[in-house]
A and B are shown apart, each in its own frame.
Chain A
Amino acid sequence: MDVQHNLPNIVESILFGAGRPMRLSEIKTLLGSQNMDVDLPSIKIALNSLEERYDKSAIEIKEVASGFRLQIKDEYGDCLYPLWNDTSNRLSKAFMETVSIIAYKQPVTRGDIEDIRGVSVSTQIIRSLLDREWIKVSGYRDVPGRPALYETTKTFLNDLNLKSINDLPPLPEALPAEQALGQLEAG
């Protein structure tokens, strides 16, 4: 098989088969293990040519935190939603608030989250975030009790179609405290 010539098809089959994001280096290693030596730029070129080919189709190549993956274009999601209607994807407000605080302030302890939310963090929420692999324990804070520090994972970014944590919507600014107090005194 002419590897260079067939590279777009080879990369396409790998992405289809993987069903998860693949890094360029992962693809290179995979091919190398089958005695197909390809350099990274060639793989990138193959990806670009695939992108062009998919232009008029229902699928697209998306780069997320853990690499490149094939997905169905957003506009066709509505057609698939009834097919795979999965209520388990309904996430509670408390769940989203918890993961948001972890995402913007990481690494944080449960205590940090509780300080902001004014309510104790349920073990169940932390468990299901860990189960989803949206968060992980990154260490322990060096204070009495050594509470676990949580941070968000690449899976969290992948699942939200993001490449990096900086792609999250910006955290709204609060009024500076002095200004807030100034307004209080005036009012």
Chain B
Amino acid sequence: MKSQEQLEFPLFKGEALTQLPEDLFIPPEALEIYLEDFSGPMDVLLYLIQKKDIDILELDLSEITDQYIQYIELMDALKIELAADYLVMAATLAQIKSRMLIPQSEDEEEEGDPRSELIRRLQEYQRYKSASESISNLPRLDRDFFLATSALPKFKEQQPSVEIDAHELAAIFHEASTRPKFSAHHEIHFEELSTQDRIALILSILNKRNVIQFFQTYQKKEGKQGVVVSLLASLDLAKDGHVELIQNKDSNQLYLKSTNRGLH
């Protein structure tokens, strides 16, 4: 039976690489394989701690932080895609390390040891990591044991094969590349109607006659925009007290009545 270890540790020159070589010369490609094998920052951290053969609880954060940062620099140099989570861990370590360096006031001491949260998380992670190793070592279907069966194999649904010759392909390509472009661009020109102009127009009309119906302040061809501009102009004039807006209860008509103020 193939054990999980044999399957999971990367091979380098035919030997299972179960531990980072201690000597100076480490073939970069070997390291690359090894580093990629970590499943996350917690895993790297646990590895660093276990390599030192120390209990998580006796964690010398200063040393581990330096090593951890060396590792992620190495991963970066080797162009291993560095998940942001690794940097978050580096930041957490650095923060804890800096808090440990600063002498604590009594208030802060009550907050507890800055390492405790990290240690709690490491312990929690270690539980699941070791459980996952046990599960990996359980016999697994089609790896360690096999079914005795005469069931029909599951066939893949057959994809109908595409039959096309070179000429057809060329013709299709030609057709596609000379296809007229139906999605032409065109710019929409808005007719610019200015509220200022409309105010001036209304005022000039009101100079001659005292009252004007609202619908007389725009032209039909101006469309909705004309109505909106007229309305804005009317409201503006009413706000400044130049006109009164009058609407009778029994009529839908809106009248603009000059207040004879500020008119020239």
Contact = CB atoms under 8 A, between A and B. Distances in A.
Given A77-B1, A180-B123, A72 B42 contact: no
B144 interface: yes
Contacts of A184: 57, 113, 115-116, 119
B259 interface: no
A163 to B, nearest CB: 13
A73 B8 CA distance: 24
Given A19-B151, A172-B127, A118 B89 contact: yes
B57 A187 contact: yes
A81 to B, nearest CB: 6
Contacts of A1: none
A71 interface: yes
Given A93-B37, A177-B120, A185-B113, A100 B150 contact: no
A30 interface: no
Contacts of B7: 90
Interface string A76-87: 011011001010
Chain B interface, >50% SS class: helix
A181 B109 CA distance: 13
A101 interface: yes
A143 interface: no
A96 to B, nearest CB: 4
B141 A93 contact: no
A77 B40 contact: no
Contacts of B139: 74, 77, 160-161
A72 B57 contact: no
B126 A174 contact: yes
B148 A70 contact: yes
Chain A interface residue bracket vs B: 35 or more
A90 B3 CA distance: 11
Contact of B119 (A20, A89, A180): A180
A16 B41 CA distance: 47
A137 interface: no
A160 B141 contact: yes
Contact of A120 (B1, B37, B85, B129): B85
A61 to B, nearest CB: 10
Nearest to A159: B141
A101 B128 contact: yes
A93 B128 contact: no
Interface string B21-43: 00000000000000001111111
Interface string B59-88: 000000000000000000000000111101
A159 B146 CA distance: 10
Contacts of A100: 128, 131-132, 135
A72 B146 CA distance: 5
A93 B146 contact: no
B106 interface: no
Interface of B: 1-2, 7-8, 37-43, 57-58, 83-86, 88-89, 112-113, 115-116, 119-121, 123-136, 138-151
Interface of A: 16-20, 58-59, 69-74, 77-78, 80-81, 84, 86, 89-94, 96-97, 99-101, 103-104, 116-120, 158-162, 168-169, 171-175, 177, 180-181, 183-185, 187
Given A58-B148, A119-B42, 13 more contacts: A16-B148, A19-B151, A70-B147, A93-B132, A96-B136, A97-B132, A104-B131, A168-B131, A169-B131, A180-B119, A183-B57, A184-B113, A184-B119
